[in-house]
Amino acid sequence: MPIQPLLPAAAIAANMAELKPALRRQEALVEASRCLYCFDAPCIMACPAGIDIPAFIKKIAHGNPAAAAKSILSANILGASCARVCPTPVLCEGACVLEDRDEQPIQIGRLQRYATDYIAERDIKVFTPPAQTTGKRIAVIGAGPAGLACSAELAQLGHTVVVFEKQAQPGGLNTYGIAYYKMRPEISLAEAELVRSLGVELRCGITIGKDLTIAQLEKTFDAIFVGVGLGATNRLRIPGEELPEVVDALDFIDQIHTRPLDRVPVGRRVVVIGAGNTAIDAVTQSLRLGAEQATVVYRRSEGDMSAYDFEYQRAKCDGARFLFNVAPVEVCGSAGHVIGLRLVRTNAGADGRPEPIPGTETIEPCDLVLKAVGQEKQVVLLRRLFPALQIDAHGVIARDPLTGQTSVPHIFAGGDCANGGREVVNAVGEGKKAAHGLHAFLTRQTAAPPVQPSRLGAKTGPTGSGLLHPVRVHELEAALKK
Ligand SMILES: Cc1cc2nc3c(=O)[nH]c(=O)nc-3n(C[C@H](O)[C@H](O)[C@H](O)COP(=O)(O)OP(=O)(O)OC[C@H]3O[C@@H](n4cnc5c(N)ncnc54)[C@H](O)[C@@H]3O)c2cc1C
Ligand code: SF4
C-alpha cells in the first residue's frame, strides 16, 4: 500500500495524543484525598497484581509520591505501563466503592501513573539488587510482561536470570501492540531497563528453537520460564486473502510503533474484521491516522462482542461504523489491489453458530482490510520446543495456576501462552506467581507467597501504613485467625 499521509503530520500527532494525560500535582492531591482507604478494599481484590491501592494513594495524599511508586512497583514491576493500559473500568476502578454512592470512582490508573512518572522523571531508584545470590540460574523465554515480571521477582529472590527475546527490543506486546494513544513504547522499554537494573540479563534478537535449543538451555540453567505469548492472527481462509492490502491488525499496530506516524500506510476506507479489543484498537487508530471511513464487521451480534463496552463506546465516538451479523466471504480485488470485501448476512444457527443467509451478499468498498480475528495459539512451537509438555484442549500450556509449574517439573509458564490471552496485568500476576513457584522448586522451600490481596489488606491495616483504626483491630484479629 503506498504511503500517502491522509492528514498533516501535526494533525495525526494530535489525534494520537494520549487519551489520559498525566495528572498535575494539585490534581493528584485532590484525587488522592477523595479515597476512603477502605478496609479489605475491593479495588485491591480486583487487581490481579495485588497492588495495595489505598496504601499508595495515601502516600500520594501525604505528599510522598516516591514512596507510593515503591509500593506500586514492589507489587507490579510494570506498574507504569499498567497505569496506562489496564482496563481499569472493569478492574480496580470498576470495584471502587464510590460508584455505589453515585460518585466517580477514584482515578486509580492516573494516580498510579502520577507516582511512577514522578520517580521516572527524577531518576529515583526504589530497588537495590539483593546482596546474596542463590547460585540458581533460570532461563526466561520471552521478554513480554509475563517474562519481565517473573524475572524481576526471581532476581529479587536472589536468582540469576537470563531472558531470551526474539524481537530486537524487549516488552512483548507492551512495546509493539498497545494502542498508541494509550501508551508510548518508551514506557515499556524503560520498564525493561528497570528489570535489567535488578541484575536480570536481557538478550534480545535470540529466538529459542532457532538460535538456541531447549537442550542447550537445560545444560546451563536449573529451570525455565516460558512466556512466549500467542502467535500471529488467525487466517480468514477466504479468496483474496493474499492481496497486499489484507493486513494482520497486529502488523498494522506494530508499524504505528516502529515508524513515524505519518509514514504508516492506512487506507481511505478501512474494514476491520473481528470485534475484540484488537479490532477496536485497529479501527480507532485507522481513523486517528486519517482514514475517511473505518468499519468493523462482525459475524455475530452486538451483544456477542468480546471488546470491552468502554472501548466500543470510544470507537463509536471516534466515528467507527459497526456492521453486525455479517461474515466476510471474499476479498475483492482489481489489478492486484483490494477494492472491497464481499459480505453475507448471518443469523444464529441451531447450535448458536452464525450461519450465512443465502442471497444476502453485498460488497463493502474498501482499500485496506485489517484482520483482527484472534491470535493463533502457539501449539506448533510449544510441541516442537517441549515434546513432553502437556497442552490443554484450548491449545495453551497446562500449568498449576498457583505456581505456574507445568507437566515437566523444571518448566514453568505464564501469560498469554498459558491463559489464552488476557491483559498485561494478568501476565504480570502469573509471572510473579511462577517466580515464587520456581523459587520454592529450586530451593525446596516455600517462598513468601506473592501478594494475596485480601490478606495483605488485613495484615498491614486499612492503608498498609501500619496505622490501624482502633475500632477495626478486633475485625483484623478475626480476619487473621481465619
Ligand atoms: C493489539 C493488542 C492490544 C492489546 N491492548 C491491551 C491493553 O490495552 N491493555 C492490556 O492490559 N492488555 C492489552 N493486550 C493484551 C496484552 O498485550 C497481553 O495480554 C500481554 O502482552 C501478554 O504478555 P505475555 O508476556 O504473555 O506475551 P507477549 O506480550 O506476547 O510477549 C511474549 C514475548 O515472547 C517472545 N517470544 C515468542 N517466542 C519466542 C521464542 N521462541 N524465543 C524468544 N522469544 C520469544 C515474543 O517476541 C514476545 O516478546 C493487547 C493485546 C493485543 C494483541
Ligand atoms: S475502593 Fe479503593 S480506591 Fe475506592 S475508595 Fe476504597 S480504597 Fe479508595
pLDDT along the chain (482 residues), means of 10: 76 92 96 96 96 98 97 97 97 95 95 98 90 93 98 97 97 96 96 96 97 96 98 94 96 94 93 96 96 97 95 96 97 96 93 92 97 94 94 95 96 97 97 97 68 36 28 34 36
Ligand located closest to 282 CA = 1
Sequence-distant (≥ 6) Cβ neighbours of residue 478 within 8 angstroms: none
Any ligand 2 atom below 6 A from CB of 35 = yes
Atom of ligand 1 nearest to the CA of 416: 26
Asked if the domains 137-231+376-443 and 246-371 are classified in one and the same CATH topology, the answer is yes
Atom of ligand 2 nearest to the CA of 34: 5
Any ligand 2 atom below 6 A from CB of 60 = no
| Architecture in CATH of 246-371 | 3-Layer(bba) Sandwich (3.50)
Atom of ligand 2 nearest to the CA of 36: 5
Cα of 431 vs centre of ligand 1, distance in Å, is 13
Q: How many Cβ atoms sit within 10 Å of the Cβ of residue 409?
A: 9
Cα of 431 vs centre of ligand 2, distance in Å, is 26
Cα of 92 vs centre of ligand 2, distance in Å, is 8
For helices 65-75 and 108-122, the axis angle rounded to 10 degrees is 110
- What is 137-231+376-443's CATH number, 3.30.360.10, 3.40.50.300, 1.10.3720.10, 3.50.50.60? 3.50.50.60
pLDDT given at position 2: 56
Grid cell listed for 112: 498510579
Cα of 142 vs centre of ligand 1, distance in Å, is 9
Which H, E and C letters describe the chain, residue by residue?
CCCCCCCCHHHHHHHCCCCCCCCCHHHHHHHHHCCCCCCCCHHHHCCCCCCCHHHHHHHHHCCCHHHHHHHHHHHCCCHHHHHHHCCHHHCHHHHCHHHHHCCCCCCHHHHHHHHHHHHHHHCCCCCCCCCCCCCCEEEEECCCHHHHHHHHHHHHCCCEEEEEECCCCCCCHHHHCCCCCCCCHHHHHHHHHHHHHCCCEEEECCCECCCECHHHHHHHCCEEEECCCCCCECCCCCCCCCCCCEEEHHHHHHHHHHCCHHHCCCCCEEEEECCCHHHHHHHHHHHHHCCCEEEEECCCCHHHCCCCHHHHHHHHHCCCEEECCEEEEEEEEECCEEEEEEEEEEEECCCCCEEECCCCCEEEECCEEEECCCECCCHHHHHHHCCCCCECCCCCECECCCCCEECCCCEEECCHHHHCCCCHHHHHHHHHHHHHHHHHHHHCCCCCCCCCHHHHHHHHCCCCCCCCCHHHHHHHHHHHHC
Boundaries of every domain in the chain: 20-126+454-481, 137-231+376-443, 246-371
The domain made up of 20-126+454-481 has a fold known as: Fumarate Reductase Iron-sulfur Protein; Chain B, domain 2 (1.10.1060)
Q: Are 247 and 368 in contact (CB under 8 A)?
A: yes
Backbone phi and psi for residue 171, each to the nearest 5 degrees, phi listed first: 115, -20
Counting ligand 2 atoms within 8 A of each CB, the residue from 34, 39, 106 with the most, and so the one to mutate, is 106
Nearest CA to ligand 1 atom 19: 423
Nearest CA to ligand 2 atom 6: 38
Any ligand 2 atom below 6 A from CB of 462 = no
Distances from the Cα of 221 to the Cαs of 129, 141, 160, 383, 432, in angstroms? 20, 12, 9, 20, 19
Nearest CA to ligand 2 atom 2: 43
Atom of ligand 1 nearest to the CA of 375: 53
Atom of ligand 1 nearest to the CA of 426: 19
Atom of ligand 2 nearest to the CA of 54: 7
Cα of 457 vs centre of ligand 2, distance in Å, is 12
Counting ligand 1 atoms within 8 A of each CB, the residue from 113, 151, 173, 256 with the most, and so the one to mutate, is 173
Ligand 1 site residues, Cβ closer than 6 angstroms: 85-86, 141-147, 164-167, 172-174, 177-178, 182, 207-209, 227-229, 250, 253, 277-278, 281, 415-416, 422-425, 427
